[in-house]
A = this chain, B = another copy of it.
Amino acid sequence: MDDMLLMIPGPTSVAPRVLKAMSKNIVNHRSAIFGEILKESSEMMADVFKTDNPAYILTGSGTAAMEAAMANILNRDDKILNVVGGKFGQRFSQIVDAFEGQSKVLDVEWGTGVNPKDIKEILDDDDQIKAISLVHNETSTGVANPIKEIGKIMKNYDALYVVDTVSSLAGDDVEVDKYGIDICVTGSQKCIAAPPGMAAITLSEDAWKVVENTESKTYYLNLKKIRKSGNSNPPETPYTPSVSLMYAMNEALKIIMEEGLDNRILRHKLAAKATRNAINALGLELFPDEDVSSTTVTAVRMPEGISDKQLRGTMRNKYNVELAGGQDHLKGNIFRIGHMGNTTQTELITAISSLEMTMYELGLDVELGSGVASIQKTYLNQ
């Protein structure tokens, strides 16, 4: 199990020093010693969000942070514009439904990015929209949405700008303050490369004003309580946090600081480019439009006549490389290569080499070594 090369869009492989940090003894979560770790981690987290506002680390999955974002700004029947171009866009809409808001859905064809103009039109037509939700990197389709451009539009409207950067933060360009993002959420197990089970959130002053005037629809994820505890001295969490995962987050964030956030993002961009080049060289087809193809996960159409079990099964069982399949109606129709977090050139070459051999064995037309060569050339010509 330890030999499996994890090339899925999260959870990602975790650096040995993060695993080591995680295995330190448990301390009292209300002690000064833990307060220091929480403070340092939250500050690094805010740096990664590129915001001057505080960031809060939550014990829960990325979905918990998505829920926190919605359940603290919604009154019953409030209207939220949910941009839906994949499974995670859908999730925001379902969360709004669960909390009895009105979800207005902007449907975007899966595999394409949202057109900022479409958002502008809806906001011009409907001044009742309290917030819009957008998934930056739609993990399910491998599409990166133009959060910077949409941020420019959003500055002209009162609606809050809520962005899910679960699978992009620390791997693609996200500048919370500069883009005017009001609520930004992320997860621990994607580009941050910590184990899954923690999430993070940051809010603008405008967003806090709305939160203050809204009765939280959740107890566990009540942001007012989270802020109050987080801003105490030493900082705390309202309920017992995952101490071990906080050690891991702290170490993973330190690795990001050492690498340099901008270097890390460049590394992700290069890995994505190399992967796309390899896919093209192998005669495979990208699922998303190439100009919106994600920096952290590449979605590829399943070759004609090949099943998910054949392709991913061979990769897993024969080559110890774990890829991700498609979700919902994309099941069997695409496969996805994650290249986020700590993924190295060598790992990418291993994955693509294994893909070539798998294609060969499945009787597909493939020039062995051509994908690998594309990766090499991409890195040599950077």
Contact = CB atoms under 8 A, between A and B. Distances in A.
A322 to B, nearest CB: 5
Contact of A62 (B20, B196, B240): B240
A185 B64 CA distance: 19
Interface string A230-247: 000000001111111100
Given A98-B219, A220-B61, A244-B245, A29 B1 contact: no
A217 B67 CA distance: 11
A23 interface: yes
Interface in A1-47: 1-2, 4, 6, 8, 10-14, 19-20, 22-29, 31, 33
Which of A62, A189, A248 is packed against the most chain B CB atoms within 10 Å? A189
A221 interface: yes
Closest 9 CB pairs of A and B: A197-B242, A195-B244, A63-B239, A19-B23, A61-B239, A98-B219, A23-B23, A67-B220, A196-B240
Contacts of A22: 22-23, 244
A26 B1 contact: no
A333 interface: no
A63 B244 CA distance: 18
Copies of this subunit: 2
B4 A220 contact: no
A7 B62 CA distance: 32
Interface in A238-267: 238-245, 248
Interface residues of A, number: 57
Contacts of A6: 25-28
A350 interface: no
A49 to B, nearest CB: 20
B13 A1 contact: no
A63 B14 contact: no
A197 B59 contact: yes
A94 interface: yes
A241 B62 CA distance: 10
A60 interface: yes
Given A99-B217, A197-B245, 8 more contacts: A1-B33, A13-B26, A60-B60, A61-B242, A62-B240, A63-B219, A63-B220, A99-B219
Contacts of A89: none
